[in-house]
Amino acid sequence: MNLAIFASGNGSNFSAIIKAIKKGRIKAGSVLLVCDKPDARVIRRAQKAKVGVILVRREDFAGRADFEAAIIRRLKSYKIDLIALAGFMRMLSPDFVRKYCNRIINIHPSLLPAFKGSHAIKDALDAAAHFTGVTVHFVDEEMDHGPVILQREVRIAKKDTLVSLEKRIHSVEHKLYPQAIRLFSEGKIKIKGRKVEISNP
């Protein structure tokens, strides 16, 4: 399996995935980082891990179609089988998603469909929810919506702050995302309609 990890920021999930690959938990051939921010910390993480980096800045293109076309050309040259979104701060177009149907996954810090969007952890705290969690799901044409692969619950304590809850959620993410990628690489994930079936996890 050839893997592309899309990220725009710190890259802690990127590092968790790379660590799992290096420990042999995920069997991967080519691995590369696709990033749209030249100052993102994830680029330094990739360089340290000796992972190839494709930097594609949105401002270098007239429109989103040209921007995505440039990414797709590079993905094809690496024969990418799976795209893992790990803090990539751009919505992919429906055309892009259709080209890689059931081959794009995302991680989200809530138990979807609860608390969609970019402030999911804060929204759970503001709602005084008793629990939230982490979801790994296939990407479809709607935001935070595709078929769920794995979920884990995270309890919210009365003393939790945004910082403390984020820390515990990220800890779960760093285990759950590599697990989902491993299942995909081993051919253990099947999609039937909106449902995901996992064989021999």
Number of other residues whose CB lies within 10 A of the CB of residue 130: 11
φ and ψ of 23, to 5 deg = -85, 0
Residue 191, φ and ψ in degrees, nearest 5:
-110, 125
* Torsion angle of the four alpha carbons 7, 10, 16, 18, in this order, in degrees rounded to the nearest 10: 60
Pairing of strands 195-198, 189-192: antiparallel
Q: State pLDDT tens for residues 139-178.
A: 999 988 999 999 999 999 999 999 999 999 999 999 999 9
Asked if pLDDT for residue 200 goes beyond 80, the answer is no
Q: What is the pLDDT of residue 162?
A: 97
Which residues does the annotation mark as catalytic? 108
Q: What is the DSSP-derived secondary structure letter of residue 156?
A: P
- Rounded Cα gap, residues 91 and 109, in angstroms: 17
Burial group, residue 1, by CB count within 10 angstroms (0-12, 13-18, 19+)? middle
Average pLDDT over residues 53-65: 93
CATH topology of domain 3-198: Rossmann fold (3.40.50)
Whether 192 has a pLDDT exceeding 90, the answer reads no
Structure tokens at 161: 């702050």
CB atoms within 10 A of CB 198: 13
Q: Report the percentage of the chain scoring pLDDT > 70.
A: 100
Does the N-terminal peptide bond of residue 109 adopt cis geometry, omega within 30 degrees of 0? no
- Confidence (pLDDT) at 60: 92
pLDDT at 188 exceeding the cut of 80: yes
- Residues listed for the chain: 201
67-104 pLDDT per residue, tens:
999 999 999 999 999 999 999 988 999 999 999 999 99
Do residues 59 and 91 lie in contact, with contact meaning Cβ atoms separated by under 8 Å?
Answer: no
Per-residue confidence (pLDDT) for residue 13, from 0 to 100: 98
